[in-house]
Structure 1
Amino acid sequence: MKKMVLSLGGSILVPSLEAHTVSEYAAVLIQMALRGQVYVVVGGGGEARRYIGAARSLGINEAASDEIGIMVTRINATLLVYALGDAAYPAVAESYRQAKEFGESGKIVVMGGVTPGQTTDAVSAVLAETVGADLIINGTSVDGIYSADPKADPEAQRYDRMSAQDLLSIISAARLDAGSNTVIDIVAAKIVERSGIPLLVVDGRNPENLSKAVCEGTFSGTIVSDGECSPLPL
């Protein structure tokens, strides 16, 4: 059975409590699960950043502030588990070993953060290695990987395909610019390189983009792979 790991930003899933896409994503994930075993790692989004900011204002150290952020990722993950109903394993995985065990049920497995100092992008990449995934999908707020931040540079070029080393080069260069943003963190990119697992970066603001990519092989985004063949559709 094919296995896929989806990194889903909290700002994509729950941009606000009044306007969220939890139900829409639940429907799409159930479609994707027809193609293989699905694991989802949910981020904390703006809500986590607000709690972390409050913790810092109280003088709480960074490790403890990160723990608070992890709690928020697990709240978001719990919302998704409930929305998925019987299609999901009925608990949020809190470790890689637990996620792997839950996957033996054949149901969709959902988890949040794991370790202070580690983003959910990195969690997704480590989880993909742990379960032997065939594909990592990063659902983000842009439609792929660009040569520069497309929000700041209108001349930025979007890549349809690139190698893992190319991705690392772009991220490393971006890190030299103060305040720049990247669609995936450098730890996750290094794990993608060492594992050889293909990565798809796609606009996650429309959940249907993910199901089309997995089920039809049609998408607007970037494939990071050192292989010659496209890993899509599954």
Structure 2
Amino acid sequence: MRITICFGGSTFNPEELEVETLKEIAEALKELKKENHEILVVTGGGYTSRYYIEAGEELGIPHKDLDQIGIAATRLNARLLNSVLGDLATEDVPRNFEKAIRTMLRNKIPVMGGTQPGHTTDAVAAELAETSNSDLLIFISDVDGIYTSDPKKNEGAEKIYQMTTSELSDLMSKMKFEPGMNAIIDPLATEILQGMKIKTLVIGKNEINRLPQIVKGSTHSGTVVEPPEKTETDKENQN
């Protein structure tokens, strides 16, 4: 199976780097490779990105330059994970999808960060999954699924365990997106997902060590996002 995995910055760099989480990620990816899956990885910027961007804003740095600083932070995280993977990855961090796919086809794990201003790593992961014809897209963060609102700000937020990309888009249209919001896939990524036919999982960092089992179909506490066509077909098969 070909799998694109996005590790949000909050996964291993929420307020400081979490070495144990990086080890868990590396072990899970190694296990997936042992099972002959083709893996592509995208990392977010996390605290490093926020720290530098906030400092840049205080210094009056233009937004176009702040975007580049944020991208650099995602690539720094990518290089760190790249190094942890050792021989499973390559020395270079891909800066475009073509290079990432070539790396995957050489039986290595490409680990990339951001690509261009205005595109979050959520969107990068969705585009990479589409461009590489992935069979499965997985988003992992410190929020364990998609909720009706941001659970960090609303205790009454309810988790949605299964939905279509259309339902996700409808939910996003009712929500006000704010930078740093981790409760849901961001608007640009949602728009990209609507045009894809790829099953998507949104799970929490607490299930990283279960990734190999989850890929095989084991239950998890996150959210499954299905393309509308696939969901309708599944319903027909059940009737």
Cα distance in 2, alignment partners of residues 206 and 101 from structure 1: 29
Match of 2:151 in 1: 150
**Contact 1:14–1:22 at 8 Å: present in 2 too?**
no
SS in 1 for 2:29: helix
**Contact 1:26–1:83 at 8 Å: present in 2 too?**
yes
Match of 2:78 in 1: 77
Cα distance in 2, alignment partners of residues 78 and 115 from structure 1: 17
Cα distance in 1, alignment partners of residues 39 and 189 from structure 2: 19
SS in 2 for 1:156: coil
CA drift of 1:216 comes to 4.4
Match of 2:212 in 1: 211
Unaligned 5+ segments in structure 1 are none
Cα distance in 1, alignment partners of residues 81 and 26 from structure 2: 7
Taking a change above 3 Å as real, the CA distance of residues 177 and 49 of structure 1, as seen in their structure-2 partners, is closer
Unaligned 5+ segments in structure 2 are none
SS in 1 for 2:215: helix
Cα distance in 2, alignment partners of residues 18 and 114 from structure 1: 22
Provide Cα deviations, 1:150-178, integer angstroms capped at 9, x if missing partner: 23333322122101010011111112799
SS in 1 for 2:149: coil
Give the TM-score of the pair, scaled to structure 1. 0.90
Cα distance in 2, alignment partners of residues 178 and 113 from structure 1: 15
CA drift of 1:5 comes to 0.7
Match of 1:27 in 2: 27
Q: Does 1:13 align with 2:18?
A: no
Cα distance in 2, alignment partners of residues 28 and 79 from structure 1: 16
Cα distance in 2, alignment partners of residues 180 and 79 from structure 1: 24
Q: Does 1:129 align with 2:127?
A: no
Cα distance in 2, alignment partners of residues 132 and 10 from structure 1: 24
SS in 2 for 1:69: helix
Identity, in percent, stands at: 37
CA RMSD of aligned residues (A): 2.2
Cα distance in 2, alignment partners of residues 151 and 59 from structure 1: 29
Cα distance in 2, alignment partners of residues 152 and 169 from structure 1: 20
CA drift of 1:19 comes to 3.1
Taking a change above 3 Å as real, the CA distance of residues 108 and 46 of structure 1, as seen in their structure-2 partners, is same
SS in 1 for 2:202: strand
SS in 2 for 1:7: strand
Matched AA of 2:12:
L
Task: Tell me the matched-pair count.
Answer: 229
Taking a change above 3 Å as real, the CA distance of residues 142 and 182 of structure 1, as seen in their structure-2 partners, is closer
Matched AA of 1:212:
Q
Cα distance in 1, alignment partners of residues 45 and 3 from structure 2: 21
**Contact 2:142–2:182 at 8 Å: present in 1 too?**
no
Match of 1:162 in 2: 163
CA drift of 1:110 comes to 0.5
Q: How does 1:156-195 map to 2 (within 5 A)?
A: 156-175=157-176, 182-195=183-196
CA drift of 1:113 comes to 0.5
